[in-house]
Amino acid sequence: MPPSENAPDSAEYTTPEGLHVRRMAGALGAEVRGLSLESIDAAGAEAVLGLLIEHHVLFFPEQAPSVDAHIAFGRHFGELEGHPHLVNPTEGLPPEIFELSAKHGGVADEWHTDLTCLDSPALFSILHMVRAPAVGGDTMWSNLAMAYDELSPPVQALCEGLTAIHDGEPHDTPEVKSVHPVVRVHPVTGRRVLYVNEHFTRRIVELSREESALLLGHLTKWVSNPRFTVRYRWQTGTVAMWDNRVTQHFVLNDFHEERVIQRVTVMGDRVEAAAPARWPAFQRVGGVSDTSRHDRVLDEVTGSSDGD
């Protein structure tokens, strides 16, 4: 479904399917009303997908779907998978649902795209706010295509020739690793997208450790620039859906009441590079030294380091 023609210049508009859309920020995000996720059909899901491609993250207030309806909604968009690394702390839920309850801490308070440590990361995430705190616990999302577009041309060109290692260390699975391009192409829109994050990305393959730290530090801070973001204040019963191919998100750890979420994850992303890697993996010059341990991850992933 093509994006609505009047959407880019309208704060609020109605789609041909009768969905009322209200944009939440200039960069990304929209609230959608006029449908029930409890009983949505294939045509409704197609309309939602069109809006998601357009706005990157959607919010559906006053929904409160049942667990079964939440799962059924997710299945309109692909194969579902529970969290591959974390044990569901709530017993009795179907494996497609991951629930997290927290009063303070235990939230993803680093900017990240879901599961980039996997070869085929999460495609879409669909979160139901079962219980929202009265104050705090907002989530922010960043538009990674916009973040790429606003880099200077020389930095864009550099990033397009690089790849980066992502691993599952935040989930206590550092052995789970994948290499992805620093700049990917969104398969639907064709836009270039900056694809590194502070949570999972460990090292740029083609740079020395020091150079990698400098560039990753800049890029991971860059994507959090407020003009690329939307911040959403949750209400109990709201559902959010976001496109992991073009967004990062961050949970504000500023609440002291129970915050309960249930999430289903649509898996199966295929990461396409904007351009081939232009240089070989970094190789330390000289013999083995204490500092060569920083390059072992390159040898593990690419087999190209001579550090050990």
- Choosing from 55, 70, 83, 112, the catalytic residue is 112
Provide the residue range defining the domain that includes 209: 1-282+291-308
Residue 86 confidence (pLDDT)? 58
Report the greatest alpha carbon distance in the chain. 67
CA distances from 21 to 18, 32, 65 (A): 9, 5, 20
Q: How do beta strands 247-251 and 139-143 pair?
A: antiparallel
> Which residue out of 55, 70, 114, 180 is catalytically annotated?
114
20-23 and 30-33 strand pairing: antiparallel
User: In the prediction, which pLDDT does 55 show?
Assistant: 98
pLDDT of residue 89: 64
23 is catalytic: no
Which of the residues 83, 249, 259, 284 is marked catalytic? 249
How is residue 150 written in tokens? 């606003």
Q: Is the dihedral of CA 118, 139, 241, 219 positive or negative?
A: negative
Q: What is the pLDDT of residue 107?
A: 65
Residues 97 and 91: their CA atoms lie apart, in Å, by 11
Told to judge if 263 belongs to the known catalytic residues of this protein, a careful annotator would answer: yes
Cα–Cα distance, 54 to 76 (Å, whole number): 18
DSSP string, 140-154: EEEEHHHHHHTS-HH
Q: Return the pLDDT at 306.
A: 45
Is 85 among the catalytic positions?
A: no
CA distance 76 to 35: 15
State how far the Cα of 17 lies from the Cα of 39, in Å rounded to an integer: 15
- What is the pLDDT tens value at each position of the chain, 308 positions in all? 334 444 556 899 999 999 999 999 999 999 999 999 999 999 999 999 999 999 999 999 999 999 999 999 999 999 998 766 556 666 778 999 999 888 765 667 899 999 999 999 999 999 999 999 999 999 999 999 999 999 999 999 999 999 999 999 988 898 999 999 999 999 999 999 999 999 999 999 999 999 999 999 999 999 999 999 999 999 999 999 999 999 999 999 999 999 999 999 999 999 999 999 999 999 877 666 666 677 877 877 876 544 33
Residues 6+ away with beta carbon under 8 Å from 47: 1, 15, 17, 19, 35
CB 99 within 8 A of CB 262: yes
273, two tokens: 């590079």
Whole-angstrom CA distances from 289 to 90, 280, 292, 298, 306 are: 47, 21, 5, 15, 11
Q: What is the CATH number of the domain that holds 41?
A: 3.60.130.10
pTM recorded for the entire structure: 0.91
3-class secondary structure, 29: coil
Q: In what order do the strands lie in the sheet with 173-181?
A: 173-181, 163-168, 201-204
- What does residue 274 show for φ and ψ, rounded to 5 degrees? -70, -30
Taking the C-alpha atoms of residue 54 and residue 2, their distance in angstroms, rounded to an integer, is 9
- Residues 237 and 63: their CA atoms lie apart, in Å, by 5
Identify the pLDDT of residue 248.
98
Inter-CA distances, 61 with 161, 172, 234, 247, Å: 41, 34, 9, 21
Catalytic-labelled residue, pool 186, 263, 269, 295: 263
Number of domains in the chain: 1
Strands ordered across the beta sheet of 229-232:
229-232, 139-143, 247-251
Residue 218 appears among annotated catalytic residues: no
Residue 142 — left, alpha, or beta (φ > 0 → left; ψ -120 to 50 → alpha)?
Answer: beta
